Amino acid sequence: MNTMRNSRLSKSLLGITLSASLLLSANLVLSPQAVHAASVTTATATSTALKANSILATGKQYMGVRYQFGAPKGSTRSFDCSSFTQYVYGKSGVNLPRSSQAQSHVGTYVPRNQLQPGDLVFFYSPIHHVGIYMGNGKILHTYGSPGVTISDLNSNWWSSHYSTARRVL
């Protein structure tokens, strides 16, 4: 009986030891992958933020450039809203269609409360205006007499005409 009890105890201890070894091995194998996934996510977020900053810096270089409806693609003498976004995103390697309506279908939908710098913001229904979200409730865009300018998205005018946003970075 003693021998039987010792055999069971030995088998139980062996089973526990084996289980613990397997769990530890699995953690050692899986942990580097989890760390790698976190690094890739952080690197992607950093890359996106850098690209957004580049787009905004490029756009700010054109502050005051006059607005012209139907401005030709690639022109920097004048812009309309969608030629402006197409141009500054293009300088960072992001190709956008020519019209604000077409631009409103690229990328992924972003709820207003989750806007990040570099997101495209659209106005009116049907959509016929686009700007670039800068962060802190500000948008970089062009319209009318100010030409390329920065506006407050939360002002009565822009807030009441806001339609949707898209993330293209």
* 141: annotated active-site residue: yes
Which of 81, 105, 128, 161 is flagged as catalytic? 81
Active site residue 129: yes
By the 8 A CB rule, do 52 and 91 touch?
A: no
Q: Could you tell me if 65 and 147 are in contact, meaning their C-beta atoms sit under 8 angstroms apart?
A: yes
Q: How far apart are CA 154 and CA 82, in angstroms?
A: 21
Residues 6+ apart with CB under 8 A from 74: 87
> Is 81 among the residues known to form the active site?
yes
Spatial distance between the Cα atoms of 111 and 113, rounded to a whole number of angstroms: 5
**What strands lie across the sheet with 129-135, from one edge to the other?**
108-109, 162-167, 120-123, 129-135, 138-143, 147-152
Given the residues 36, 105, 128, 129, select the one marked as catalytic. 129
Catalytic residue (choose from 105, 128, 141, 161): 141
> Which residues are known to be catalytic?
81, 129, 141
